[in-house]
Amino acid sequence: MAMVRVKNPEFDLHLMYGKCRNYSCGITLALMIAAAIAFPSFEAKARAIKPKQQIISLENIPETQQIKRPPPPPRPAVPIETESADVPDDVTIESTDLPFDEAVFDLPPPPPPGNNEAASEEEEILEFFMVEDKPEMIKSVSPVYPEIARKAGLEGTVYLSFVVDRNGRVRDVVVLKGQEIFRQAAMDAVAQFIFKPAKQNDKTVSVKMNIPIKFTLGGG
């Protein structure tokens, strides 16, 4: 047999929600009316905030005194030879006699005047384009045509490099390129050339030059 349980209305919370709501609203309304009667007007006053002032104080700092450097030490006295008797012995220089007559000098004799200067100047060899007054040929010698080359019908050109010294003479002849059969004949001919020396700053100088020597059957 099923039993039906019925809630007691006094303890049914769901039924009490309406009453609680009404009581709460009434109490709240009463409190608001009482507050309105007690405080009919309400004014909120703004509080002025005063800015904080920064106080800057100046202090007089006493001027510092510069430390005076001590004077430099006195310079040492240079001993001076003197004949005065008032001067102590520790500040005089004792006279010394050197035996110059007994000295033996085994030195080579000095070179003749002007030789060193000429040798130093000859060592400086300038390039052809560097000098103001170029060397001018005074005497040229035709090379001897090698007989073997003539019989073989050979022709060619030998390029030589040499130095014209301060006296206009040729030295240090070097072959740059050319057929071997013509080289010695070309060198022998150029070695006999004579030039008017080159000048730089009104002084004769040695100059390096290059020259081609042609060997042709037509010219012999």
- What is residue 105's predicted lDDT score, i.e. its pLDDT? 43
Q: What is the 8-class DSSP label of residue 106?
A: -
What are the tokens at 68? 């005076």
What's the average model confidence in pLDDT over 23-44? Answer: 81
More confident residue, 134 or 119: 134
What's the average model confidence in pLDDT over 72-97? Answer: 56
More confident residue, 162 or 87: 162
Can you tell me the distance from the alpha carbon of 108 to that of 110, in angstroms, rounded to the nearest whole number? 6
pLDDT(10) > 70:
no
- What is residue 121's predicted lDDT score, i.e. its pLDDT? 47
Categorize the per-residue pLDDT at 46 as very low, low, confident or very high, splitting at 50, 70 and 90: low
Give CATH for domain 123-215: 3.30.2420.10
Categorize the per-residue pLDDT at 91 as very low, low, confident or very high, splitting at 50, 70 and 90: very low
Can you tell me the distance from the alpha carbon of 92 to that of 97, in angstroms, rounded to the nearest whole number? 16
pLDDT(5) > 90:
no
User: Collapsing DSSP states into helix, strand and coil, what is residue 158?
Assistant: strand
Rg (CA), the chain: 63
Name the average pLDDT for the chain: 76
- What is residue 194's predicted lDDT score, i.e. its pLDDT? 93
- What is residue 113's predicted lDDT score, i.e. its pLDDT? 53
| pLDDT tens, position by position, 156-211 | 999 999 999 999 999 999 999 999 999 999 999 999 999 999 998 888 999 999 99
DSSP 33-98: HHHHHH-S---PPPPPPPPPPPP-----PPPPPPPPPPPPPPPPPPP-----TTS-GGGSPPP---
pLDDT(103) > 50:
no
Which sequence spans correspond to the domains of the chain?
A: 123-215
Instruction: Sort residue 130 into left (φ over 0), alpha (ψ -120 to 50) or beta.
Output: alpha
pLDDT(101) > 60:
no
Q: What percent of the chain has pLDDT over 70?
A: 65
Categorize the per-residue pLDDT at 32 as very low, low, confident or very high, splitting at 50, 70 and 90: confident
Residue among 192, 194, 185, 172 at smallest CA distance from 213: 185
pLDDT(52) > 80:
no
Angle among Cα 156, 161, 167 to the nearest 5 degrees reads 130
